[in-house]
Amino acid sequence: YQSFAVKNWVLEVLFVEQVEIREKQAKKTQNKTNTRRYLKDWISLDKQLLGINDHLHIKNKGDLVQLMPELPTLFCAKDLSKTAIKKNAHKVLWVLHKLDLIRLVEKKGNTKYYQYI
Protein backbone atom coordinates (compact mmCIF):
# COMPACT_ATOMS: atom_id res chain seq x y z
CA TYR A 1 0.00 0.00 0.00
CA GLN A 2 3.05 2.20 0.05
CA SER A 3 2.98 2.41 -3.75
CA PHE A 4 0.78 5.49 -3.64
CA ALA A 5 3.57 7.34 -1.82
CA VAL A 6 6.06 6.76 -4.66
CA LYS A 7 6.44 9.74 -6.97
CA ASN A 8 5.29 9.20 -10.59
CA TRP A 9 3.71 5.82 -9.72
CA VAL A 10 0.65 4.94 -11.83
CA LEU A 11 -1.52 1.83 -11.83
CA GLU A 12 -2.98 1.25 -15.28
CA VAL A 13 -6.13 -0.88 -15.35
CA LEU A 14 -7.10 -2.33 -18.72
CA PHE A 15 -10.65 -3.30 -19.64
CA VAL A 16 -10.26 -6.14 -22.10
CA GLU A 17 -12.47 -8.42 -24.12
CA GLN A 18 -11.33 -12.02 -24.27
CA VAL A 19 -12.56 -15.41 -25.41
CA GLU A 20 -11.97 -18.63 -23.52
CA ILE A 21 -11.38 -21.69 -25.68
CA ARG A 22 -13.00 -24.76 -24.15
CA GLU A 23 -13.06 -28.44 -24.99
CA LYS A 24 -16.18 -30.50 -24.30
CA GLN A 25 -15.62 -33.61 -22.16
CA ALA A 26 -17.63 -36.84 -22.05
CA LYS A 27 -18.02 -36.66 -18.27
CA LYS A 28 -17.62 -33.98 -15.62
CA THR A 29 -13.99 -33.47 -14.64
CA GLN A 30 -11.84 -31.35 -12.36
CA ASN A 31 -10.27 -28.16 -13.56
CA LYS A 32 -6.54 -27.38 -13.53
CA THR A 33 -6.56 -26.50 -9.83
CA ASN A 34 -7.95 -29.97 -9.04
CA THR A 35 -10.98 -28.66 -7.21
CA ARG A 36 -13.76 -31.19 -6.87
CA ARG A 37 -16.33 -28.68 -5.75
CA TYR A 38 -17.38 -27.50 -9.20
CA LEU A 39 -17.01 -30.32 -11.69
CA LYS A 40 -17.47 -29.21 -15.31
CA ASP A 41 -18.14 -31.09 -18.52
CA TRP A 42 -15.51 -28.98 -20.26
CA ILE A 43 -11.90 -27.93 -19.74
CA SER A 44 -10.38 -24.57 -20.53
CA LEU A 45 -7.59 -24.79 -23.09
CA ASP A 46 -6.63 -21.19 -23.70
CA LYS A 47 -7.74 -17.57 -23.61
CA GLN A 48 -7.44 -15.17 -26.52
CA LEU A 49 -7.37 -11.40 -26.26
CA LEU A 50 -9.87 -9.82 -28.65
CA GLY A 51 -9.15 -6.23 -27.79
CA ILE A 52 -8.57 -3.55 -25.20
CA ASN A 53 -11.78 -1.57 -24.77
CA ASP A 54 -10.67 1.07 -22.28
CA HIS A 55 -8.03 1.90 -19.73
CA LEU A 56 -7.92 3.71 -16.42
CA HIS A 57 -4.99 5.40 -14.69
CA ILE A 58 -4.94 5.40 -10.89
CA LYS A 59 -2.31 7.85 -9.68
CA ASN A 60 -3.33 8.48 -6.08
CA LYS A 61 -5.77 7.45 -3.37
CA GLY A 62 -8.29 10.05 -4.47
CA ASP A 63 -8.67 8.30 -7.82
CA LEU A 64 -9.86 5.18 -5.98
CA VAL A 65 -12.49 7.15 -4.06
CA GLN A 66 -13.84 8.57 -7.33
CA LEU A 67 -14.43 5.00 -8.57
CA MET A 68 -16.71 4.24 -5.63
CA PRO A 69 -20.49 4.42 -6.12
CA GLU A 70 -22.71 6.91 -4.29
CA LEU A 71 -23.09 5.77 -0.67
CA PRO A 72 -24.69 7.25 2.45
CA THR A 73 -22.51 9.10 4.96
CA LEU A 74 -22.32 5.98 7.14
CA PHE A 75 -22.19 2.81 5.07
CA CYS A 76 -21.57 -0.89 5.58
CA ALA A 77 -20.71 -3.85 3.37
CA LYS A 78 -24.41 -4.49 2.79
CA ASP A 79 -24.83 -0.98 1.33
CA LEU A 80 -21.85 -1.54 -0.93
CA SER A 81 -23.12 -4.94 -2.09
CA LYS A 82 -26.35 -3.31 -3.32
CA THR A 83 -24.29 -1.44 -5.93
CA ALA A 84 -22.27 -2.85 -8.81
CA ILE A 85 -19.77 -4.22 -6.28
CA LYS A 86 -21.60 -7.34 -5.15
CA LYS A 87 -19.43 -10.29 -4.22
CA ASN A 88 -16.31 -8.29 -3.35
CA ALA A 89 -17.81 -5.69 -1.01
CA HIS A 90 -15.87 -6.86 2.06
CA LYS A 91 -12.60 -6.94 0.09
CA VAL A 92 -13.15 -3.43 -1.22
CA LEU A 93 -13.82 -2.16 2.31
CA TRP A 94 -10.69 -3.91 3.57
CA VAL A 95 -8.51 -2.27 0.88
CA LEU A 96 -10.02 1.17 1.47
CA HIS A 97 -9.48 0.78 5.22
CA LYS A 98 -5.83 -0.28 4.72
CA LEU A 99 -5.28 2.77 2.51
CA ASP A 100 -6.78 5.02 5.23
CA LEU A 101 -9.54 6.22 2.90
CA ILE A 102 -12.32 5.11 5.25
CA ARG A 103 -12.53 4.66 8.99
CA LEU A 104 -14.62 2.48 11.23
CA VAL A 105 -17.22 4.67 12.94
CA GLU A 106 -19.43 2.22 14.81
CA LYS A 107 -20.34 -1.42 15.10
CA LYS A 108 -23.88 -2.69 15.63
CA GLY A 109 -23.86 -6.42 16.21
CA ASN A 110 -21.62 -7.86 13.51
CA THR A 111 -22.21 -4.95 11.12
CA LYS A 112 -19.39 -2.43 10.82
CA TYR A 113 -20.23 1.09 9.65
CA TYR A 114 -17.60 3.15 7.85
CA GLN A 115 -17.18 6.76 6.82
CA TYR A 116 -14.91 8.41 4.25
CA ILE A 117 -12.00 10.33 5.77
pLDDT in tens, 69-81: 999 999 999 999 9
Domain ranges of the chain: 1-59, 67-117
Q: How far apart are CA 80 and CA 76, in angstroms?
A: 7
- The single-letter code of the amino acid at 19 is V
Q: Which of 53, 84, 69, 61 is nearest to 11 (CA)?
A: 61
Multiple choice CATH, 67-117, 1.10.10, 3.40.50, 1.20.5, 3.30.160: 1.10.10
pLDDT in tens, 92-110: 999 899 988 999 999 999 9
**Residue 56 confidence class, pLDDT cut points 50, 70, 90:** very high
pTM attached to this predicted model: 0.69
